[in-house]
């Protein structure tokens, strides 16, 4: 009887397991169709022309796909070339850590030990270490306007007239200049051009056969079409803003190649072919918070504590492209998202990546309204209002002037100050700033960054110019008629 009771109780306890589906207890199996559907709907909702993605799980590529089209009308595939902007920093950091791994440099040594010719207008620069450059805690600033440079060495030496904005190691300040210097360091110590080093020591061993690294944004790349910039919910093809970005943002790659890179990162530094490219200790160090940098490791940013699941990641953006790479240690997934478009007001690549991560967690990502489109349309409404009131102001300039013909010249012209302020401010932004420090920016770059805002500013500027001009003209004519 006791044996029968035990058997009955065992059956009662185990019965639920016989009826619950296996997926209740196992990690959710990724629905690739759901991923494709989500990305396609996201692109359509936000007016984005194309994207490519790759998803890796525990050292294996499980999905790579392209969506939409490029600026030449070709379908985007997982083999389409894309620029990845600052995602390149993870590769630069990896190259530096390889030199650390082989004993060529020391992570906590001052960078001037290896680049003695590199100076800065600040004595504290001699204390800046390689670790601090990698973690953006060097104190080196990140100015928007910098002189032109056509080589990596010239680009790195642009810091010579700068000063640190904090003591080395004290605070995190994101700066592209850190990575210009690091790329030049790799170049000097390896005896190879930085692009050649990446190709020899990183791309080729990983099987990233379509990847390359540029020195300047304007360098020609066969097969790489123009990117787009978002405007009013649509996308406009546009050429790249000229800049020297080697080390900080110069890599051109594909989703398929990024898959090989992420395979290695989810396989303890070992490539798909079984070759170790970096020691596990240094790889783990690159994912770890650094002194003075709670949310940045060595070439990777670290998600805030409230973000779930936790991610090791990096984003990138140029004037025609956006990219996002994310590694999720808790699940073994890694995702790269690459867009052939740029949107100033929103990181679409991050949002798409976040949605895919939710799908890997068995959740359904929400497809929200297009915030950038709403912002641009709001700016567009302001633009139309300025057109209407601008035309009205021009047409009423004679009446405005006639009412003030009895004013003294000083008083009359002082009343023009409200119109002169936007002329001076917007004129300085659009025509003077691009010429500062002999940089390579142009007036067109203002439109590349945010077309809707640039059009609004242009309308305000033109309305102010015409209103001011007609009022001055009527004042002169009125004075001459007396």
pLDDT at 17 over 50: no
- Burial class of residue 326, CB neighbours in 10 A (0-12, 13-18, 19+): buried
Q: Are residues 54 and 103 in the same domain?
A: yes
The residue with tokens 């080196």 is 140
Q: Is residue 95, in this structure, part of any structural domain at all?
A: yes
Q: What percent of the chain has pLDDT over 90?
A: 81
What percent of the chain shows pLDDT beyond 70? Answer: 91
From 366, 399, 430, the end of a domain falls on 366
Tokens 């199996």 label which residue?
29
Q: What is the arithmetic mean of pLDDT over 54-58?
A: 97
Number of domains in the chain: 2
Q: Reply yes or no on whether the pLDDT at 330 is more than 80.
A: yes
274 and 395, same domain (yes or no) = no
Check whether residue 346 and residue 327 sit in a common domain.
Answer: yes
Task: Count the neighbouring beta carbons within 10 Å of the beta carbon of residue 457.
Answer: 22
Per-residue pLDDT at 322 exceeds 50 = yes
Place of tokens 């207008």: 121
Q: Are residues 462 and 350 part of one domain? A: no
Give Cα 361 to chain centroid, integer Å: 25
pLDDT at 441: 67
* 244: in domain: yes
- For the stretch 405-461, pLDDT in tens is 889 999 999 999 999 999 999 988 888 776 666 666 677 778 888 999 999 999 999
The reply to whether the predicted model has a pTM over 0.95 is no
Q: Is the peptide bond before 399 cis (omega within 30 degrees of 0)?
A: no
Span 259-267, mean pLDDT? 97
Residue 1, pLDDT > 80, answer no
The pLDDT of residue 481 is 52
pLDDT tens string 202-254: 999 999 999 999 999 888 899 999 999 999 999 999 988 888 999 999 999 99
Measure the CA angle with vertex 118, ends 116 and 119; round to 5°.
110
Q: How far is CA 439 from CA 177, 184, 217, 350, in A?
A: 15, 21, 14, 30
- Predicted confidence (pLDDT) at residue 5 exceeds the cutoff of 50: no
User: What's the pLDDT at 241?
Assistant: 84
pLDDT at 337 over 90: yes
User: Is residue 61, in this structure, part of any structural domain at all?
Assistant: yes
Question: How is residue 388 written in tokens?
Answer: 């209407």
pLDDT tens for 90-132 read 999 999 999 999 999 999 999 999 999 999 999 999 999 999 9
Residue 40 lies in a domain: yes
301 and 276, same domain (yes or no): yes
Assess if residue 442 is contained within a domain.
yes
pLDDT at 438: 66
**Model confidence pLDDT, tens digit, residues 129-172:** 999 999 999 999 998 778 888 899 999 999 998 999 999 999 99
Q: In this model, does residue 309 exceed pLDDT 50?
A: yes
d(CA 126, CA 113): 9
Encoded tokens for 393: 């102001």
Are both 318 and 429 inside the same structural domain? no
Boundary-marking domain end, from 366, 381, 407: 366
Do 342 and 378 lie in a common domain?
Answer: no
- The number of C-alpha atoms within 13 Å of 238 and in the hemisphere containing its C-beta is 25
Averaged over 337-366, what is the pLDDT? 96
Task: Note whether residue 25 is domain-resident.
Answer: no
Choosing from 366, 381, 408, the residue where a domain stops is: 366
Please count the other Cβ atoms lying within 10 Å of the Cβ belonging to residue 237: 16
Q: Give 60-85 pLDDT, tens digit per residue.
A: 999 999 999 999 999 999 999 999 99
| Beta bridge partners of residue 314, listed in sequence order | 325
403/361 Cα distance (integer angstroms)? 70
Secondary structure (DSSP) of 407-447: S-HHHHHHTTHHHHHHHHHHHIIIIIGGGGGG-S--HHHHH
Q: Is the pLDDT of residue 12 over 80?
A: no
**In this structure, are residues 397 and 467 in contact, taking their beta carbons and an 8 Å threshold?**
yes
Task: Kindly give, in sequence order, each residue whose CB lies less than 8 Å from that of residue 284, ignoring residues fewer than 6 positions away.
Answer: none
Give backbone dihedrals phi and psi of 204, rounded to 5 degrees, phi first.
-65, -45
Residue with tokens 């590529």: 61
Task: Name the residue with higher pLDDT: 23 or 372.
Answer: 372
Q: What is the CATH number of the domain that holds 268?
A: 3.40.710.10
Bridge partners (DSSP) of residue 339 are 51, 322
Q: What is the Cα–Cα distance from 153 to 118, expressed in whole angstroms?
A: 9
Quick one: 339 and 242 in the same domain? yes
Domain that holds residue 78: 32-366
Domain assignment of residue 16, yes or no: no
Residue 8 lies in a domain: no
pLDDT at 47 over 80: yes
Please indicate, yes or no, whether residues 413 and 430 belong to a single structural domain of this protein.
yes
Shared domain for 327 and 452, answered yes or no, is: no
Q: How far from each other are the two terminal CA atoms of the chain, in whole angstroms? A: 126
Calpha distance 244→397 (Å, rounded): 47
| pLDDT for res 16 | 37
Q: Are residues 352 and 401 in the same domain?
A: no
Same domain for 162 and 186? yes
State pLDDT tens for residues 357-416.
999 999 999 988 899 999 999 999 999 999 999 999 999 999 999 999 889 999 999 999
Question: Would you place residue 21 in the very low, low, confident or very high pLDDT band (cuts 50, 70, 90)?
Answer: very low
Give the residue, 240 or 327, on which the prediction is more confident: 327
């Amino acid at each position: 009887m006791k044996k029968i009771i035990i058997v009955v109780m065992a059956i009662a306890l185990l019965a639920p397991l016989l009826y619950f589906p296996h997926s209740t207890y196992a990690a959710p199996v990724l629905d690739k169709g759901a991923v494709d559907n989500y990305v396609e709907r996201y692109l359509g909702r936000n007016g984005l022309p194309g994207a490519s993605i790759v998803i890796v799980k525990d050292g294996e590529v499980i999905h790579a796909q392209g969506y939409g089209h490029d600026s030449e009308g070709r379908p985007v595939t997982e083999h389409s070339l894309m620029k990845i902007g600052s995602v390149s920093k993870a590769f630069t950091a990896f190259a530096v850590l390889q030199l650390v791994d082989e004993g060529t440099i020391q992570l906590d040594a001052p960078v001037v030990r290896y680049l003695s010719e590199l100076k800065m207008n600040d004595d504290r620069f001699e204390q800046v270490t390689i670790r601090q450059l990698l973690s953006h805690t060097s104190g080196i600033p990140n100015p928007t306007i910098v002189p032109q440079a056509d080589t990596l060495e010239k680009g790195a030496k642009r810091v010579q007239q700068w000063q640190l904005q904090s003591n080395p190691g004290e605070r995190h300040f994101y700066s592209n200049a850190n990575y210009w210097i690091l790329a030049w360091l790799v170049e000097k110590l390896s005896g190879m051009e930085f692009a050649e080093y990446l190709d020899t020591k990183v791309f080729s061993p990983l099987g990233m056969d379509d990847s390359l690294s540029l020195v300047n944004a304007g360098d020609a790349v066969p097969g790489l079409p123009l990117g787009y910039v978002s405007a009013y919910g649509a996308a406009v093809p546009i050429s790249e803003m000229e800049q020297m970005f080697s080390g900080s943002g110069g890599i051109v790659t594909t989703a398929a190649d990024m898959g090989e890179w992420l395979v290695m990162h989810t396989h303890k530094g070992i490539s798909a072919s079984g070759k170790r490219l970096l020691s596990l200790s240094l790889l783990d160090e690159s994912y770890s918070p650094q002194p003075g940098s709670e949310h940045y490791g060595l070439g990777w940013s670290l998600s805030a504590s409230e973000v779930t699941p936790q991610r090791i990641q990096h984003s990138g953006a140029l004037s025609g492209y956006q990219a996002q790479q994310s590694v999720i240690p808790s699940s073994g997934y890694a995702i790269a998202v690459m867009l052939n478009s740029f949107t100033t007001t929103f990181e679409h690549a991050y949002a798409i990546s976040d949605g895919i991560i939710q799908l890997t967690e068995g959740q359904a990502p929400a497809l929200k309204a297009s915030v950038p489109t709403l912002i641009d349309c709001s700016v567009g409404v302001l633009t139309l209002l300025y057109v209407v009131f601008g035309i009205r102001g021009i047409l009423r300039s004679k009446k405005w002037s006639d009412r003030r013909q009895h004013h003294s010249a000083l008083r009359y012209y002082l009343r023009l100050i409200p119109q002169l302020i936007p002329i001076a401010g917007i004129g300085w932004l659009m025509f003077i700033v691009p010429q500062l420090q002999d940089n390579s920016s142009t007036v067109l770059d203002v439109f590349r960054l945010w077309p809707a805002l640039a059009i609004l500013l242009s309308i305000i500027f033109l309305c102010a110019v015409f209103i001011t001009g007609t009022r001055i003209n009527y004042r002169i004519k009125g004075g001459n008629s007396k």
